[in-house]
Amino acid sequence: MGEYRFFKVNPGGMIDSGTRERLPDDDAAIARARALADNGGVEVWAGSRRIAKLPPQRMSA
């Protein structure tokens, strides 16, 4: 179990908000980031290590 930080990034590339969660591994953290991504992207960090940088999710019509 590790602590991961999730930063929501707005379309201009600036951080809007952040949260922390304890998850079993990097794959679980990336899955959680996908659930958090909406009009902006999400960066996932574990300590000083960036796990992923996800682009904004496109809304399907």
What percent of the chain lies above the pLDDT cut of 90? 66
End-to-end CA gap in the chain: 37
At 33-53, the pLDDT tens digits run 999 887 789 999 999 999 999
Structure tokens at 22: 């304890």
- Position 28 pLDDT exceeds 90: yes
The domain limits of the chain are 2-54
Task: Specify which residues 6 forms β-bridges with.
Answer: 19, 44
